[in-house]
Amino acid sequence: MKIMLFRQLFDEESSTYTYLIADRSLKQALLVDPVLEQVERDRKLLYELQLTLKYCLETHIHADHITGTGKLRGITGCLVIVPENAPVNCADGFLRDREVLKLGDVIIEAIATPGHTDSHSAYLVNNKAVLTGDALFIRGCGRTDFQGGNAGVLYDSVTQRLFTLPDETLVYPAHDYNGHSVSTIREEKQYNPRFLGRDRPQFITFMNNLNLPDPKKMIKAVPANQKCGNI
């Protein structure tokens, strides 16, 4: 049996993936990007797997759903960890670019990947899988038109920090809207239509002309998430 437990969990309303990662021998876990409405599901799963929640990590301040970090901290006493410079007043810790968080045999390395928001981190798990947040989706990427988003900065994050990981690195995004669960860096370099055949200026022009409506929950979610979802 592998020492690391890795579970992908889905919130259908916001199409958000939450990741439960644990060291089975230590029986300690962390959650990445938990969703407020799914806290009871996640709490129950932790209980059944007999895992103690040590950390809740955010890839960024979300605009489309309210985070479950604050509620989970209230229940479990876990520490809430967010990317360096994330505009939150409630975090227990911040992870700088290339900083490492260890949980037994589980090693999480932060990769600063701004552009979707101005403080965004991907998390490399045991050098095998990368949780890409909203920087890189499977055949897509996050939008860049609010919360300090910047298309050029996102282009640099994806092409210089994520596409430079080994080809076989598994890609686990924070959202998927087409029923995909996992990809690889090789696949995204080969087939991601947002980046394929576009240089930096072309990507900026493309992203700046998406003209997407604001996320439905944005007005409520962003200020709530700056307080760890304590609304």
Spatial CA neighbour of 107 closest among 121, 92, 124, 94: 124
Q: How far is the CB of 45 from a second copy (least distance, A)?
A: 8
Our CB check for a second copy shows the closer of 9 and 218 to be 9
Our CB check for a second copy shows the closer of 96 and 216 to be 216
Q: How far is the CB of 100 from a second copy (least distance, A)?
A: 25
- 34-73 binders of a second copy (CB under 8 A): 38, 41, 45, 48-49
Q: How far is the CB of 9 from a second copy (least distance, A)?
A: 5
Does 10 engage in binding with a second copy (CB under 8 A)? Answer: yes
Q: How many CB atoms lie within 10 A of CB 97?
A: 14
- The type of residue at 129 is A
Number of residues located near a second copy, criterion CB under 8 A: 22
Does 205 engage in binding with a second copy (CB under 8 A)? Answer: no
Q: How far is the CB of 87 from a second copy (least distance, A)?
A: 28
Extract the tokens encoding 23: 């060291």
Does 25 engage in binding with a second copy (CB under 8 A)? Answer: no
Does 212 engage in binding with a second copy (CB under 8 A)? Answer: no
Does 9 engage in binding with a second copy (CB under 8 A)? Answer: yes
59: Cβ contacts below 8 Å, ≥ 6 apart: 32, 33, 83, 120, 121, 122, 123, 131, 132, 133, 134, 135, 174
Specify the DSSP element, H or E, that contains 125: strand 121-125
- The type of residue at 144 is T
Cβ 147 vs Cβ 118: under 8 Å: yes
Does 191 engage in binding with a second copy (CB under 8 A)? Answer: yes
Our CB check for a second copy shows the closer of 7 and 198 to be 7
CA 115 to chain centre: 13
Q: How many CB atoms lie within 10 A of CB 31?
A: 29
Does 170 engage in binding with a second copy (CB under 8 A)? Answer: no
Cβ 31 vs Cβ 53: under 8 Å: yes
Please select the residue that binds a second copy; options are 26, 90, 103, 182, rule is CB under 8 A: 182
2/63 Cα distance (integer angstroms): 35
Does 7 engage in binding with a second copy (CB under 8 A)? Answer: yes
Please select the residue that binds a second copy; options are 107, 187, 198, 217, rule is CB under 8 A: 187
Please select the residue that binds a second copy; options are 89, 168, 197, 213, rule is CB under 8 A: 168
